[in-house]
């Protein structure tokens, strides 16, 4: 008989957390924690939660993800993105168990022109990226490689939550109704990744006992401009919006934000896809699947 794996999930109410709960495979006993059950800004509480639940894995999908606001709240971002995973790692070091930490393409500076390999050195250019990179470092310090998996991903979106896809659908509807154009940055290249595939990758990593640093994204490459156009087209095709707005490509310099973002953040996922035995889905195909799950009233 296969052993039940006990998982302590954080961030259950986030977009990835919800997909993880929805797509839980058989053989998993889940303790799902949201902000109300566990404050990730409370390091001691994070440590104690592991001692209380004694999970086989902590799946840390909770995070401070407001990239621009992190520039003015660095202490809070650091506590949630670095001190909390450190506490999980330290507690797991005491009682046994593994940590799956979801991390980000924003740990890289974006100055190269070919996909980042998992073992390349990190060099974040934003507070958010720096706090996620620090979380990775502290986990690696507190736990042996055999006991942690750092799974980096990029441009996450899904049928629920705060994400670029749902924002663009709202803007397409608004701007097209007002006969206005939609300006979207075209000089940042990455890959959209659906919460559905990412959740499956997390569960697969746990089932395979995958450890070390890994990259998982949907397949292909896009600019935010490409993604915005595809979202408009898919939204119209699915009947979520009546028409799409005309999208105008702009530069990052024309759309200044508090946080700098990498100009290029494709992640090399080759080794991870093979370790997790997952066939990559092109982001455009995945976009149609995500859009088909969005309620028509959105
Ligand atoms: N979104 C992206 O584009 C992206 C890209 C690459 C990597 N990632 C990584 O993917 C993972 C999942 O992100 P996501 O997109 O699912 O983000 P999300 O939707 O913002 O979910 C994050 C969750 O963490 C919770 N949280 C934040 N601060 C907390 C605190 N102090 N105590 C307890 N819970 C707290 C949030 O709760 P509230 O809703 O109450 O704030 C939210 O439920 C994160 O590790 C993120 O860094 C995301």
Distance 14 CA to ligand 1 centre (A): 5
Domains of the chain by residue range = 5-158+191-219+265-281
Q: Which atom of ligand 1 is nearest to the CA of 76?
A: 31
Whose Cα sits closest to atom 42 in ligand 1? 14
Average confidence (pLDDT) over 6-18: 98
Q: 42 in ligand 1 pocket by Cβ < 6 Å?
A: no
- What would the pLDDT profile of 267-296 be if each residue is shown by its tens digit? 999 999 999 999 889 999 999 999 999 987
Q: Ligand 1, atom 4: nearest CA belongs to which residue? A: 156
Q: What is the model's pLDDT at position 149?
A: 98
pLDDT at 119: 96
* pLDDT tens per residue, range 206-262: 999 999 999 999 999 999 999 999 999 999 999 999 999 999 999 999 999 999 999
By percentage, how much of the chain surpasses pLDDT 70? 99
124-162, pLDDT tens digit by residue? 999 999 999 999 999 999 999 999 999 999 999 999 999
Atom of ligand 1 nearest to the CA of 106: 6
DSSP calls for the chain: -PPPEEEEEE-TTSHHHHHHHHTPPTTEEEEEE-TTT--TT-HHHHHHHHHHH--SEEEE------TTGGGT-HHHHHIIIIIHHHHHHHHHHHH--EEEEEEEGGGS----SSPBPTTSPP---SHHHHHHHHHHHHHHHHS-GGGEEEEEE-SEE-SSSS-HHHHHHHHHHHHHHTT--EEEE-S-EE--EEHHHHHHHHHHHHHHT--EEEE---BS-EEHHHHHHHHHHHHHHTTSSS-PPPEEEE-GGGS--SS---SB--B--HHHHHHHT----BHHHHHHHHHHTS-TT-
pLDDT in tens, 61-119: 999 999 999 999 999 999 999 999 999 999 999 999 999 999 999 999 999 999 999 99
The answer to whether residue 60 scores a pLDDT higher than 90 is yes
Distance 246 CA to ligand 1 centre (A): 31
Ligand 1 site, residue 15, Cβ cutoff 6 A: yes
**What is the per-residue pLDDT across 160-203, written as a single tens digit (0 to 9) for each?**
999 999 999 999 999 999 999 999 999 999 999 999 999 999 99
Q: Which residues are catalytic?
A: 128
- The rounded Å distance from CA 229 to ligand 1 centre is 26
Q: Which CATH superfamily is domain 5-158+191-219+265-281 in?
A: NAD(P)-binding Rossmann-like Domain (3.40.50.720)
Supply the pTM of this predicted model: 0.97
Q: Is the CB of 80 under 6 A from ligand 1?
A: yes
Predicted pLDDT at 3: 82
Tell how far the Cα of 161 is from the centroid of ligand 1, in angstroms: 10
Whose CA is closest to atom 48 on ligand 1?
A: 156
pLDDT at 296: 74
41 lines ligand 1 (CB under 6 A): yes
Measured by CA distance, the residue closest to atom 30 of ligand 1 is: 40
Does the C-beta of 64 come closer than 6 Å to ligand 1? yes
Please check the confidence at residue 1 and state whether its pLDDT lies above 70.
no
């Amino acid at each position: 008989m296969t052993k039940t794996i006990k998982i302590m999930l954080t961030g259950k109410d986030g977009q990835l957390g919800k997909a993880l709960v929805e797509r839980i495979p058989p053989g998993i006993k889940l303790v799902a924690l949201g902000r109300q059950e566990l404050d990730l800004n409370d390091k001691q509480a994070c440590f104690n939660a592991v001692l209380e639940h004694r999970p086989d894995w902590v799946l840390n999908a909770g995070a401070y993800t407001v990239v621009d606001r992190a520039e003015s709240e660095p202490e809070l971002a650091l506590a949630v993105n670095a001190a909390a995973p450190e506490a999980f790692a330290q507690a797991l070091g005491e009682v046994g168990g593994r940590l799956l930490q979801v991390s980000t393409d924003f740990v890289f500076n974006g100055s190269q022109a070919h996909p980042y390999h998992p073992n390349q050195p990190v060099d974040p250019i934003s507070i958010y990226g720096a706090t996620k990179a620090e979380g990775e470092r502290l986990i690696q310090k507190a736990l042996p490689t055999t006991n942690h998996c750092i799974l980096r991903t990029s441009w996450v979106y899904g049928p629920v939550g705060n994400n670029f896809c749902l924002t663009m659908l709202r803007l397409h509807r608004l701007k097209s109704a007002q006969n206005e154009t939609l300006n979207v940055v075209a000089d940042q290249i990455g890959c959209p990744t659906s919460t559905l595939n990412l959740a499956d990758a997390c569960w697969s990593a746990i089932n395979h006992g995958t450890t070390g640093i890994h990259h998982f994204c949907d397949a292909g490459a896009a600019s935010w401009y490409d993604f915005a156009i595809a979202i408009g087209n898919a939204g119209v095709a699915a009947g979520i919006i009546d028409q799409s707005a005309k999208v105008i490509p702009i530069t990052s310099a024309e759309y200044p934000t508090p946080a700098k973002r990498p100009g290029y953040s494709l992640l090399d996922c080759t080794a991870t896809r093979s370790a997790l035995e997952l066939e990559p889905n092109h982001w455009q195909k995945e976009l149609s699947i995500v859009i088909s799950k969005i309620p028509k009233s959105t």
